[in-house]
Amino acid sequence: MSSTESAFGGMFRQLIELGVIEINTEPLDARIERRLKQFWENTSCPRCGHQSIMTWEKHDRVRCRNCEFKPVYTHGTPFHEKHLSCGEVLLAFTLYADTLLSINQIAPLLGRAYKTVHTAIREAEAAVQR
Ligand SMILES: [Zn+2]
């Protein structure tokens, strides 16, 4: 790691500890949702194998026209069934996996409880290892 990066890391950590930075992941959440739905439209149904999945902008569920399988759009992804939004999972995991920050530092950054972030990271880690 270069000295520039560690200086930035140190400054970043300090700002978080001071409570200066709190991140709003809503734009990121919306982008991940759009990308996952695009993915569904271009992939085959995990139940019947047909490429006939439909998505809607306003709906959390996608639907297979062939077999009526209706999973939520996060089904089968590391974002599935988390108490965090997609953007929060991604951000928390990225910061943690790159060992930039500890969970103690990530939780206030997202305005979330330690346990919520801890669980999401552990599950994302398990999903990545699979
Ligand atoms: Zn199907």
- The span from the CA of 91 to the CA of 2, in Å, is 22
| Per-residue CA distances from 33 to 20, 39, 70, 72 (Å) | 28, 10, 16, 11
Tell how far the Cα of 123 is from the centroid of ligand 1, in angstroms.
27
Q: What's the CA-to-centroid distance between 30 and ligand 1, angstroms?
A: 25
The alpha carbon of 93 and the centre of ligand 1 are apart by a number of angstroms equal to 31
| Ligand 1 centre distance from Cα of residue 102 (Å) | 41
How does pLDDT run across 75-124, given as a tens digit for each residue?
988 888 888 999 999 888 888 887 778 898 889 888 899 999 999 988 88
Tens digits of per-residue pLDDT, 52-84? 999 999 999 999 999 999 999 999 888 888 889
In angstroms, what is the span from residue 7 Cα to ligand 1's centroid?
A: 51
Q: Following DSSP, what letter does each residue of 8-19 receive, concatenated?
A: HHHHHHHHHHTT
pLDDT of residue 53: 97
The H or E element that residue 54 is part of is strand 53-54
Cα–Cα dist 72/9, whole Å: 36
- Whether residue 1 is predicted with pLDDT greater than 50 in this model: the reply is no
